[in-house]
Structures are given as C-alpha cells and as structure tokens.
Structure 1
Amino acid sequence: MQIGQVADRTGLSLRTIRFYEENGLVIPPARSEGGFRLYSDDEVARLETIKRMKPLGFSLEEMQQALTLLADLESGTGDRAQLIDRLQMFHAAAIARVAALREHLAVAEGFAETLVRHLDAGRGEDVAGGPTRRTRPTEGR
C-alpha cells in the first residue's frame, strides 16, 4: 500500500507518516520500482497504535518501547511474563493520562457552558435559556 493510501486509511498526513518513519517507529518493508514507499498491514497497524498513543502524550521513545513490547508479545519473543509486566505499566500510564484528559475536558466544557450563558444573557435570554422578552416578527412589513 502506498503512502497516500495509508494516509487515507489512518487519517494521518503524509508528513506525519514520514516523520514516524524517520524516527524509526515505522519502517516500510519495501519500495516500488518507482521508489514509492510500500506499507504492509503491519505498518498500518503500527501507525494506528501510534495515532492512539499521541493524544496521551507518550514520547517517541515511549511509543517505540510500547510498539516493541506489542511486537514481541505477538511474535512470542522474550520472557512473556516480563513483557506483560512492562505492558501493564504502559496500560496504567495510559489510564492515568486518559483520566487527566477527562478532567481537562470537564474544565473546558465548563468554560464553554459559561460562554453560552453569557451569550444567552447578551441576547436577552434568561439563565434557563428561555427568552426574557419575546418579540414576534411581523409578516409583510
């Protein structure tokens, strides 16, 4: 699959995909005769994993570690118990970061609600959202 198809499938930009390749997170296995990058389903899956880790603030190094853990678990390479222990640490970090994002989202939603109340008050609506003064448009005037 060429890079444009991968971008369409993952929602990542071409530049982002190249950045991850330059930083060793994704290495396309081959190039076409014309020199185009060719990605397998495994690389696309890695990009999807990276895409899910990015909003949680994982560094490139942490992403690489997690991707290696996942690949080792899948291939059966290494001490399975140790791999699972390390993966559990990533899981705990992800859960903590999700909780922090939820807190930030709640604060942001509260701010948005405050803005709506001010906008409503500026339009002459009461706090409950109903109009404080109704005017009817007249037809034909």
Structure 2
Amino acid sequence: MTEERPMQIGELAERTGLSIRTLRHYDEIGLLRPSARSEGGFRLYTLDDESRLLLIRRMKPLGYSLEQMGELLAVVDGLEADPRDETLRARLADIRTEARERREELRRKAAAADEFVAQLEAR
C-alpha cells in the first residue's frame, strides 16, 4: 500500500475544477478545512478532502446554499461518527428526497432549454 501524498491547494483546485479562491473561501467559512498545513503554512489536502470537495461541487448545480451544504456535511460527519443516530439518518433521508426533487426540477429546466434551442435552430 502506498502512502497518500498531501496535495497543496493548487493541485486540489486543478483536480476538482474549482478555483483556489473558492477553496480558500470554503476554508474561511468552515465548509472544507485542509487536513493539515505545511511548515510554511500552506494548506495540505488529502484524498478524503478531495472527496468531500467533490460532494460540495455536486451540490452546486442543484442550487444548495453554502449553509445548506454545511448542514449536509454535518449530517454526513455525524453519521460517520455514529452510523446508528436515527435523527441524523432521518435528516439524511429528507436531504435525499429534496435532492431528488431538485434534480427533477433541473431536468425540467434543461428540457425547456433544449426546446428553446431547437426552436432557435429551426429558424
């Protein structure tokens, strides 16, 4: 097994398609804190941090606010600490239902946009 090499912020930004500015903002508001810092004070991220960031990125197109993203991450973190917490499990189920509804609304909007583009192309 190979030891995981921590990533600096630029590498994480490149791997996830998000800007360094966004990553710094997420750190400032507590949405995604780096796992460590180098001796020089540089943010260092792990693959787990990258996975968390990708979860955040996937919430963006569904219109979740930063506050809502933080709530979901708190639920996920809580369930990692105690997978049997029924309150958190119920909240996750609610979030799942809401995500499905948001996805369906996004699908409807995309279909309307496709119709619009088709009308423009027909002219």
Q: TM-score, normalised by structure 1?
A: 0.78
Aligned partner of 1:6 in structure 2 is: 12
CA distance in 1, matches of 2:51, 2:22: 15
Aligned partner of 1:60 in structure 2 is: 66
1:83-128 deviation per Cα after TM superposition (whole angstroms, max 9, x unaligned): 110001111110111011011001100010001100xxxxxxxxxx
1:120-141 deviation per Cα after TM superposition (whole angstroms, max 9, x unaligned): xxxxxxxxxxxxxxxxxxxxxx
1:42 maps onto 2:52 in alignment: no
Letter in 2 for 1:33: E
CA distance in 2, matches of 1:2, 1:75: 27
1:69 maps onto 2:75 in alignment: yes
Q: SS of the counterpart of 1:38?
A: strand
Aligned partner of 1:26 in structure 2 is: 32
Aligned partner of 2:110 in structure 1 is: 105
CA distance in 1, matches of 2:121, 2:79: 49
Aligned residues: 117
In the TM superposition, what is the alpha-carbon distance from 1:48 to its structure 2 partner?
Answer: 0.7
Letter in 1 for 2:115: G
Q: SS of the counterpart of 1:61?
A: helix
Letter in 1 for 2:71: Q
* Structure (1/2) with the larger helix percentage: 2
Identity of aligned residues (%): 48
Aligned partner of 1:95 in structure 2 is: 100
Aligned partner of 1:15 in structure 2 is: 21
In the TM superposition, what is the alpha-carbon distance from 1:29 to its structure 2 partner?
Answer: 2.5
CA distance in 2, matches of 1:41, 1:83: 25
Indicate the RMSD between aligned Cα atoms, in angstroms.
1.3
In the TM superposition, what is the alpha-carbon distance from 1:75 to its structure 2 partner?
Answer: 2.4
In the TM superposition, what is the alpha-carbon distance from 1:71 to its structure 2 partner?
Answer: 1.4
Unaligned runs of 5+ in 2: 1-6
Rg comparison, structure with higher value: 1
